[in-house]
Amino acid sequence: MTFTQTLLDGNKKSFRPNTLTPMQKLTLRFVIVGLVFYGFAAIEGMIMRLYQIEPFSLLGAKQYFGILTAHPLVGIFGSTYLLVFGAFLFLVPFLMKKPLWSFRLANWTLWLIGGGTLVFWLDGFISHYAPLYTLYWPLPADFDQFHPLSGAIFIAGIALIMVGTLFFVLNVFKTITYTPAGAERQPARALLASALGFTGMANLFRRKERRKAHLVDLPVAAIARGSVDTALNALVITFTGVLILVYMVAELFGTSLKDTAIDALLYKNWFWWGLDLIADGMVLIFVAGTWYLLAMLITGKPLFMQNIARAALLVELVVSWTVWSHHLMSDQAQPEFLKIISGEAVTAFELVTQGLAFFIVLATLWSARPLKMTNELKFLLGGMLGFALAVPAGIIQADLGLNRILHNTQWVIGPHVHVAILVGLTMTLYSAVYKLLPILTNGAKLYSQKLASFHFWAHLVGGVGMGAFMGMAGLKGMLRRTIYFDGEFLPYMILAAVSGALLLAAFAAFLFNIVMTVGLKGALGIFKRSDLDPKVLVPEG
Amino acid sequence: MVDSGTVLWGQAIAYTIYVIGAMTVVGWFAYRVTRAKEGGGVPPALFWAFFVILIVSGVALHIVSYNTIPWSPIDTHRAGMEADKTFAISVADHEFQLDGPLEIDCNDLVRFEVTSDDLTYGFGLFREDESMLFQMQVVPGHMNDVLWEFTKNGTYSIRSTEYSGPRGYQMVVEDAVRVTGCTAEA
């Protein structure tokens, strides 16, 4: 086949979109939209990397901070949420061996999150609404710096995402517990108890012969528990959004509400409690669940210490509800006991829960050696390395003494956040994409293994490198969320930008490889309606 | 007194050693997992040993840090400690309100009491080479105070360490604090 033929029809014409079920197409649509938003976030990140080397006149400070506000939200909601939700809406019915509860609701999830992301991104781009994702009170309602209408549109975009998120959570739990038409009645309560971990917890207090069997697989339990945090987080963000919206609407109607009516420290506690349900709950639980699933799929063996893994997921859920205060260790009015108990002690427990997940996955892989170093295995190991580097970096900054000299420096956002998200989370997601690609495309053949290998190495070196150079700048005093005009940290920022360029090149190679695998016609075919039964997950035979 | 710069050097060395170790373990594992099987699976005892190591590491970090980083106990007990000097600083409309450079004698225990009249800001002292001495958050409606012992001569700038909107990056006061009388230089 010529290059043009492959570009149009895909590698060896092995991808035929007309054979896909509606569920396969829907999942692939989640992946495509999620990857497009990943591209947005990567390009935005690169623009900011260049701006950190030398602020250029094309981009004013307002536009820069507008990008800084949109960048993490596009990355988390537009990209990660869609990739993760799409995969889980396919995997939960796949593992539960029954159709998704509502195909229509899953469609709504895709377009609400995709549409909402586009709304706040465009609003930030045009109006430069830039209170950052932290929204520290009363900044989002500071109408000397921002127009209330631009803020209201921004919040409306986020609200659409939260509605889509709640639809996802509802769909997950209903799929676990419902009885499909014509099937034997399924025990909804027992399924829910097993998914949330109550059965496992009760088993600890039962005699061996009276212990109840787990009704749902471990990865489904992980998805269910992560979804609890996802729902709580969506409620917190929605409540916060409504609160801010009240101020904006009042301002638009000519009434300035008193912003001192809301205590800034209480608000900060509330906000971080909610946000950490994602950062320290949902992400870690979903990631551990995905590692477990990938390890079982790669080895074809049961998980090492499966009961401990279940218990660790439950502990992680509880930890995620009590860990928020590590974001307030530099807030001197924050009670000291919260800093020590929630900020230091509970946070340190994440080293234990994530460390155990790391060990369990390695032990499972080890038991099945020799393994072939496939794309999914190498990306899985890359993702695990990412969290092995990023979690201790977070534990270090969640220390009373060290936080005094690390808070809001590039250390926090480099070795901790970017290594966790770009290396840990994203490489885990890539592992899932490479593993699920043949299942979702009915056996499409990957165009180039060399490109996949380049994708792996460029992403790993770029991600770790960027985090490392940002971290070095942070230790030298470079703050995040500010602009330096005199080249104060120039060598580090140049090296971080080179690493960022490597990440962008890795993504370009991956995207090209996927386009050449499915072809442009195939990619368009994914968005055409499937005539097959939406209740069928993959074609039979 | 151990300087914050020294603490950061120690942290950089410890974390670098850890990173090299973690990469080596994962690299070794990636190589060995593709090789033919020698021996059995992983004994549960190894798992429990790793579990204990994780707990000890998490707890030890904070105990060691509290007992070696000099400002940690000062910070925790600052409410009951008497300062040699106290500076009250207010922040409003993206500006620090200061009356000239703050003069500090060597080994003074100084309390900075910072209040905000509008937004959430940060308050950090930075050396002339831009490295950070310390920082804290400045939350409106609350008293934000930090107690710090100065043991080296130097001139420090004050910078807001928290994002407070697009105007926030301009919140820098050069040569805001001057420490004299020490034998060592910052």
Q: Which of A369, A377, A385 is opposite residue B35, by nearest beta carbon?
A: A369
In a domain, B76, yes or no: no
Residue B185 lies in a domain: no
pLDDT at A132: 93
Could you say which residues of chain A have pLDDT below 50?
none
Domain count, chain B: 2
A304 shares contact with chain B (CB less than 8 Å) = yes
Q: Would you call B44 an interface residue with chain A, using a CB distance cutoff of 8 Å?
A: yes
Same domain, B88 and B113: yes
Provide CB contacts within 8 A for B80, sequence distance 6+.
Answer: none
Q: Do B136 and A401 make contact, defined as CB atoms within 8 angstroms? A: no
Q: Please report whether residue B89 resides in a domain.
A: yes
In the numeric block, which tokens belong to residue B107?
């080994």
Tell if the CB–CB gap between B132 and A405 is shorter than 8 Å. Answer: yes
Note whether A392 contacts B122, CB cutoff 8 Å.
no
At B86 the pLDDT is 96
The span from the CA of B58 to the CA of A319, in Å, is 14
Q: What is the CATH number of the domain that holds B115?
A: 2.60.40.420
Of B39, B69, B99, the position where a domain reaches its end is B69
**Contact criterion met (CB < 8 Å) for A356 and B137:** no
Q: Report the Cα A523 to chain-centroid distance in Å.
A: 24
Q: Could you give the C-alpha distances from A158 to A2, A115, A173, A249, A280, in angstroms and in order?
A: 45, 10, 23, 16, 20
- Identify the burial level of B87 via C-beta atoms within 10 angstroms of its C-beta, where 0-12 means exposed, 13-18 middle and 19 or more buried: middle
In a domain, B77, yes or no: no
- B96/B169 same-domain check: yes
pLDDT given at position A1? 83
Judged by CB atoms closer than 8 Å, whether chains meet at A330 and B135 is answered as yes
B60 and B91, same domain (yes or no) = no
Give A11-33 as a DSSP string.
GGG---GGG--HHHHHHHHHHHH
N- to C-terminal Cα separation, chain A: 28
Cross-strand pairs, B146: B112
Check: CB of residue A478 under 8 Å from CB of residue A408: no
Q: Does residue B79 belong to any structural domain of this protein?
A: no
Judged by phi (left if over 0) then psi (alpha if -120 to 50, else beta), residue B175 lies in left
Is B35 among the domain residues? yes
Could you give the CA distance from residue A80 to residue A73 in angstroms, rounded to a whole number?
A: 10
Q: How far is B85 from chain A (nearest CA, A)?
A: 19
Is residue B14 domain-shared with residue B101, that is, in the same domain?
Answer: no
* Residue B128 φ/ψ, nearest 5 degrees: -70, -25
For residues B89 and B65, membership in a common domain is answered with no
pLDDT surpassing 80 at residue B1 = no
* CA-closest candidate to residue B71, choices A408, A470, A406: A406
Which of B23, B42, B166 comes nearest A366 by C-beta?
A: B42
pLDDT digits (tens, 9 = 90+) for A271-288: 999 999 988 888 889 999
For residues B16 and B49, membership in a common domain is answered with yes
Residue B108, in any domain of the structure: yes
Per residue, what are the HEC states of A113-167?
HHHHHHHHHHHHHHHCCCCCCCCCCCHHHCCCCCCHHHHHHHHHHHHHHHHHHHH
For residue A357, which amino acid is it? Answer: A
> Within a 10 A sphere around the Cβ of A65, how many other Cβ atoms?
26
User: Which chain A residues in 145-174 lie under 8 Å from chain B, judged by CB atoms?
Assistant: 145-146
Identify which of B177, B54, B53 has the alpha carbon closest to the alpha carbon of residue B126.
B177
Same domain, B31 and B113: no
Query: Residue B99: its pLDDT value, please?
Result: 82
CB contacts, 8 Å: B75 with chain A:
400-401, 404
Q: What is the pLDDT of residues B114-161, one digit of tens each?
A: 999 999 999 999 999 999 999 999 999 999 999 999 999 999 999 999
Of A263, A381, A489, the CB nearest to B141: A263
DSSP state of B169: G
Same domain, B57 and B99: no
Scan for tokens 């939406």, then name that residue.
A534
Residues from chain B contacting residue A369 (CB–CB below 8 Å): 32-37
User: Is the CB of residue A285 less than 8 Å from the CB of residue A320?
Assistant: yes
- On chain A, the residues whose CB falls within 8 A of the CB of B34 are 369-373
Confidence band for B185, pLDDT divided at 50, 70 and 90: confident
Chain A residues within 8 A of B8 when measuring between CB atoms: 405, 475
Residue B136, domain member (yes or no): yes
Residue range(s) defining the domain that contains residue B48: 4-69
Do B111 and B163 lie in one domain? The reply is yes
Q: Give the Cα-Cα-Cα angle A499, A503, A504 (nearest 5 degrees).
A: 115
Contact of B26 with A381, CB cutoff 8 Å: yes
pTM: 0.95
Based on the fold, state whether residues B147 and B95 are members of the same structural domain.
Answer: yes
- Amino acid A209: pLDDT: 85
Same domain membership, residue B94 and residue B40: no
Instruction: Clarify whether residues B9 and B60 are in a common domain.
Output: yes
Section B65-87 average pLDDT: 94
The residue from B22, B39, B69 where one domain ends is B69
- Torsion angles phi and psi, residue B58, rounded to 5: -60, -40
Q: What is the pLDDT of residue A280?
A: 83
* φ, ψ of residue B82 in degrees (nearest 5): -95, 130
Question: Is the predicted ipTM greater than 0.90, yes or no?
Answer: yes
